[in-house]
Structure 1
Amino acid sequence: MKHRPKLRSVVTTLALVTGAFLAPGFGVLSSAGDAFAATKITHATATSMFSQVGITWSSSGGCSNRNVATCTSFDQLNLTSAQGAQTLKRATGCALNITGGTETGHASGTYSHWNGYKLDYGKNTCVTNYIKNTFTYIGVRGDGSPQWQSGSGNVYADEGNHWDVTYYNCGGC
């Protein structure tokens, strides 16, 4: 364990020298020692973390089953995504309600809801003003959603009725 910071530094340096891409907050070294993987948490751990800072969550189906699209689940959420939500709540002081987590039914991809990198938040004026006035506008994504990027590299996409946030890291937690 005590060799991980040194290895992380070596990997980061190697990526810079070779021009390889490393997403911000690329996770922790897996127990196999040969690949990077994010630390996953349970639904119960995530809801406890959210409750600690006053974040609420809701589900159109009133459930938390990861395999049901109308549920809002946090099973297999990346720890850094949960910490990123806490950071957003603390930074904004706004009401924050999570409407989408790791449940099925979202778009696929490496940095997807299913893989624990994304959370959806219900929109409100406080959160919207904070994002648009604090983060950098980076253009429109392929589906037409305008995006803003935080200083730490996390991306906030305005999907009309909610914010779709991709957490590459905890946002400075």
Structure 2
Amino acid sequence: MIKSILLKVMIPMGVLLFLIVPISVSEAQFGGFVTCNGADCSACNLVQMANGIIVWLFGFVFLIFAVQMTIAGFKLVTSGGNSSAVSEAKSRFQNAIIGVIIMMSAWLLIDTIMKGLLPNGQLSGWGPWSEVKCQVQVSPTEFVREGAGADGYSVDDVVSAPTAVGEYNHSEALSELSKNGIVVVSTGNCSDPSKSNCTSLEGVKQNTIQRITELQKASGDQLIITGGTETGHANGTYSHSEGYKIDLRPTSKLNNYITQNFEKIGNNKYRDSNGNTYWRHPPDHWDVTITK
């Protein structure tokens, strides 16, 4: 009987520990709490850091909760009929559960208030305070580097104002990319901008396409576009829906080119000499923002 009760308590707690611990590991793997560097920081990054701390604290609190429940379960099944020990174990159970309920209630209240105050802001989705997306602050100074890309060509050689100032429809953008050997893919094998599993280039800025083709020539790699102007991305002035952002599939050649030739401005974030930014978004793409 005691063994049966012990298994019923210990196994769920072990599973809970297994699920909660990776949260802290994931936070450390993808850059920690500070998401900007120096002049690149803004008030938005402060909120983003607070959000990251909240995510970590959630994992930590649930880890403590699992430990407390395990200890209480062990005390309960080993009490041997001792009423004092049983009472202590039950009290530990109750306190742990009440603590988690209070924490979740406080989070739900804050989350509801945040979404109520910022219905059209950059908070979207479900989670601890939802997901906060900050725009990278472009420095007025230019970054000058040494070296060039494939065949002596470099993205940083292009420092003038963009010549392409309009927008493409999907067919026009696809044609321009195809001329340069750039591939567009999607999980849904479609280009409907209203579906998040499609990859659409409808309304993409001509300058965005121009800079992407320049990046391909400079890196010497075949670029693969996995995200464009379709729905499902965060809103903002320089966003996917506004035609300024493109998602690229990481490759070893592209990864090396960006990290070795562009200025590092934060954790997994880089900037070319034009002020365009490249963020390695975990786990599977480069989030490229073309503003110049």
TM-score by length of 1: 0.73
Instruction: Kindly indicate whether residue 221 of structure 2 is the aligned counterpart of residue 94 of structure 1.
Output: yes
The alignment-based identity, stated in percent, is: 38
The secondary structure found in structure 1 opposite 2:274 is: coil
1:20-169 correspondence to structure 2 within 5 Å: 38-140=165-267, 146-160=268-282, 161-169=284-292
Aligned to 1:81, what secondary structure does the other structure show?
helix
Taking the aligned partners of 2:162 and 2:265, their CA distance within structure 1 comes to: 21
Secondary structure at 1:103's aligned position in 2? coil
CA distance in 2, matches of 1:66, 1:76: 10
- 1:27 is displaced (CA, Å) by 8.8
Residue 26 of structure 1 and its aligned partner are, at CA, apart by 8.5
AA aligned to 2:286 is W
Looking at structure 2, the residues matched to 139 and 27 of structure 1 have their Cα atoms a distance apart, in angstroms, of: 29
- Are the aligned partners of 1:73 and 1:103 in contact in 2 as well (CA < 8 Å)? yes
Q: Which has the higher helix share?
A: 2
Aligned AA (2:271): Q
Question: Which blocks of at least 5 consecutive residues in structure 2 are unaligned?
Answer: 1-137, 141-159
SS at match of 1:112: coil
Partner SS, residue 199 of structure 2: coil
From the CA coordinates, give the structure whose radius of gyration is larger: 2
1:57 is displaced (CA, Å) by 1.0
User: Match of 2:247, SS?
Assistant: strand
Q: State the shift of 1:82 in Å.
A: 0.5
Q: Give TM-score scaled by structure 2 length.
A: 0.44
Q: 1:47 to 1:128 in 2, by over 3 A?
A: same
What SS does the corresponding residue of 2:266 show, helix, strand or coil? strand
Q: Report the aligned-residue RMSD.
A: 2.2
The answer to whether the 8 Å contact 1:27/1:39 transfers is: no
Residue 25 of structure 1: how far off its partner (Å): 5.5
In the alignment, the residues of structure 2 paired with residue 151 and residue 159 of structure 1 have an alpha-carbon distance, to the nearest angstrom, of: 21
Counterpart in 2 of 1:14? none
1:112–1:27 distance in 2 versus 1, CA, 3 Å: farther
Runs (4+) off by over 2 Å: 23-28
Q: What secondary structure, in the 3-state scheme, does the structure 1 residue paired with 2:229 have?
A: coil
Offset at residue 39 of structure 1 (A): 1.4
